[in-house]
Amino acid sequence: METRVHSFFRFLGWIGVLIFGIWDLRICYSIVNQVAGSLVAYLGFIIAPVVFAVAPWYALIAWGKWFPLVIIYGGGILVVMLFKLGKTPELDSEL
């Protein structure tokens, strides 16, 4: 029974990675697109992904918008918590 619960939380964690990953990518792309244009946003995604890591901080500092930062980091914290709940004791003994 315990492994089913752990598997369920790991499954929810992977669903969260998928949902928040796509949502974060769209938010960061739209921020970079508004600031520098679509070509820079596309090239930033391909060549320099650090631009997407800075984008929510830029939205907070320049525009005063908290939403991108809360979604990106809040979603990351939620996913990490789900994976921690899905961690089984057998995995701990192997590490």
Residue 78 lies in a domain: yes
3-state secondary structure at position 48: coil
Q: Is residue 93 part of a domain?
A: no
Residue 72: inside a domain, yes or no?
yes
The pTM score is 0.80
Per the structure, the count of domains in the chain is 1
Cβ density class 51-88: b for 16+ within 10 Å, e for less = bbeebbebbeeeeeeeebbeebeebeeebeebbeebee
Give a three-class secondary structure readout of 55-67.
HHHHHHHHHCCCH
* Residue range(s) defining the domain that contains residue 11: 2-87
Residues in the chain, pLDDT under 50: none
| pLDDT score recorded for residue 88 | 72
In a domain, 33, yes or no: yes
pLDDT tens digits for 63-84? 999 999 999 999 999 999 999 9
Residue 94 lies in a domain: no
Would residue 95 count as lying in a domain? no
